[in-house]
Structure 1
Amino acid sequence: MYTHFFSLKQPPFAIAPDPRYLFMSERHREALAHLLFGVGSGGGFVLLTGEIGAGKTTVCRCFLEQIPENCELAYIFNPRLSVAELLQSVCEEFHIPLPAGDSVKGYVDAINRHLLASHAQGRNNVLIIDEAQNLSADVLEQLRLLTNLETSERKLLQVILIGQPELRTMLARPELEQLAQRVIARYHLGSLTEEETGSYIAHRLAVAGAAGMPFPPSTTKLVYRLTQGVPRRINLLCDRALLGAYVENTHEVNRAILRRSAAEVFGDAQPSARPVRRWAMLAGGVMACAAISAAAWQLMPREAAPVVAKASPAPIKRAPVAAVPVQVQGHAGAETALRELGALWGQQLPAGDPCEAAARLELRCHQGKGGLYELRLLDRPAVLTLRDGAKSSYAVLAALDDANASFVLDGKRQTVSVASLAARFDGSFTTLWQAPRGFRNYVPAGESGADVDWIGQHLARLDGTQAPQLGTPFDAGMRERLRAFQSAQGLDADGLAGPRTWMRLNQLAGVAEPRLLAANKKN
């Protein structure tokens, strides 16, 4: 009822997960990057958790709009199912003809045939389960078994679990350890900050076509305090506050209106009884019928309100939406940026392929896609891919903290806000890491060498055991120790020494490498 009063095209604070209203805070960007990264990572499980109302489903809807064309998608939003019911739902979502009878084996065989046929056609299969905290342990185990079907390069089924924080607790149970070890990417979506809360409100109003800013900056702190920065709570509060402002015949929401609105939608404020009664009656009247609400409002005992002219109110200065105070600068080509990254390692990479040149200097390139979250885990400078419409550029990220990012461009430093970076960073990056002497991309079981000696000595140093003798082969015992290390470090516990494992071993061993996070630069 208030949309015309505030010159809005539609209600800006509806709680439906409309991707048009998705406010891409740093955390939302990273959550979306994790989902996109998981789809192209070769199968397994991707985990997205968050508090109630944090925006998980909205991020998922945005992800669905960007999913690659070669992906077949199944979406289950009511996971309170038995094992047989889940398998039946998977068959229905993937349009797999249901087998005769309702046996678990029949469903599994049908799904496996479909996965193999899709793989032969070059297609990937992605299963998304929302509200996954409602899954039983038996159903989760069956999902793990479905992902057993794989080729030498990838698993044939990608499972994305979206749920509330208790989902993380469930996966920490001993009986689900095998599934937890198959989670290749996980992200917890937190609440907005106070600053982001103000930007979130302005963003949604702008999308809805607001000509002014009904929520002055002075109200942001109170909105944040009443909602704890949870997007759904912000929507509920601001929607009711706009209704209250409409009832009060004012084009600006004040603190009193916010408190009364919070009392109605949350019950966590204690205004006087009379205003609450009046607001409850008015809210019901307005939502039922504008004429009835107007009559009800006139019947309420109060002082006469000044008459507001029909003309539009004086324009109110709107808070900037997703303002980018400093534009991130970058190189036109990735090779130039990689050579600048090499300089941070004290190496001048010659002409030609920078990664091949780095390999001759016992450095290795590692390409990833995971956003700022992944970069913080790796804790090393990297070349980032920046987007400006259809154009791409490449910048060397040299330092990062909670608020700012520092770049190197032609040997000079520039600092921008993390929000400015997130507006252009597409999640793709290339970094360097120092390889040990004799490094091999893959060490077969039973092999020995300088790289195997390095692994054995550093694992022994970390777990306090006796270092193996030089020349000890990469046997089952060493692989199990490596798996235990990977699991403890939140890595994919595959027992293979991949780039992420080497990087983490280097960090814990104190190998002298450039660091990204400001807290580590003092060490």
Structure 2
Amino acid sequence: APKHAEIALILNPRMTPPEFLLAICEELGIAVEQKSEGSLKDLVDLLSFHLLKAHAEGKRIVLVVDEAQNLGADVLEQVRLLTNLETETQKLLQIILIGQPELRELLGRVELRQLAQRITGRYHLDPLESEETAAYVRHRLRVAGATREIFTSGALREVQRLSGGVPRLINIICDRALLGAFTEDRHLVRSNVVRRAAGEVFGKNFLPGWIPWAGGSAVGAVAIASALLVMPRFLGDDPVRVAPAPVAEVAESAISPEPVAVVTAAAPATGTAPGLDKLLAQYGAETDPDDAFNKLFAVWGLRYIAGNVDPCSQALRAGLECFAQRGSLAQLQLFNRPAVLNLVDFTGRSHQVVLTSLDSERARVDLGGAQREIGIGDLTRSWFGDYVILWRPTAGGSSPLALGARSARVKWLRDSLRRVNGLPADEGAGVVFDSALVSMVEDFQRKHRLAVDGIAGIQTQVAIDAALADSKTPFLRKDDRGGAGS
């Protein structure tokens, strides 16, 4: 604080009026006898004497109350009474209330109108725009010592979408995203890491923004005091080799360093088949998310209803789940399920189309009411890795299973892995995830080129579902009667 001012900072205002006044006195270094600690009159008298003394010395006293939306009505009344401490020419105490939007609602109550009328200035921090959010994150990282870009442009767009531009939420999401990238030994934070971080913060799963109703929302804040956690690996001066696009469980050997891994060398499109850009231009009116999910649901024999219920919620009602990822064609071949792809044409416009078939040289997409065959090279020029598939989880859900877990899903996992290996179910096996099951999971992951960690995460479960799927399940590889384990 400047020499001509004293500041009393109250960080936790959930107090009784005597506790509130006592906290102010303690902040200002006012000695309070024990017998006076519970007396409002004694505390106000002591505070008034200190304020008059400071005024005589040419000092200003400022009271700052953080999280002021938590102030009780009786404490707010005491705040109003403190504004009565004045000389003939000026107030002895300047009061600054900082809080969330609920503070405005609180001060709008009829019973607090006298306090509201004494407020001389109101400042509301509106949510940041997308450009402001990106600049804010970059600034915080520079202050923390970063010397290069850490969040991709796509990741920053996801931060904006999922935080609603609220700095407090931006801080929390970025903090968790940095921690997530650090634990995965990655030097770049991408959009899927941000979505996963937001899911941990808000306790729900977030899908890419191009999926209908996939966005997150948040309310604005009046003031913020938070810090971004930046791990040392992000802050170095030396050039850093950027890791491949993070595909949560897929081992790096299964993908190329590019955002979209091509399965083999691209085959040129046939002379009679129009290029993908021409198809997108011709049928662009039929490539919005609702059209794509309508077609994907139809492949599964389901009816899709465009409207107020998002497609993934509709899938849940049919016992299916959405799996959204930024990945590669190799990954799609592993999961072996028709997928909604997010394509970008040469004008920059986004299109959602259903991939119904895929091999090493050709892909087939549903466009204009027909199956259109295109070359892999043509597809990868317009596809940057975003996709959604549907899969059927076990009845208990799809949360990760790891060593020590105890549930009926553990038995499902053990039996499923035995089936993949052509073995009968072990009727005597329990419901505890033991070291033997860890080894089984690791063997499966190794065989299917997943990250080998012994944890049955979402991708491992999707791959198991692909390996065990029956003939009623739609496949990408049309020569398959089963999935990845066939």
Indicate the structure whose relative CO is greater, using CA pairs within 8 Å and at least 6 residues apart: 1
Tell me whether the two structures share a fold, i.e. TM-score over 0.5. Answer: no
TM-score range, shorter chain: 0.3 to 0.5
TM-score by length of 1: 0.40
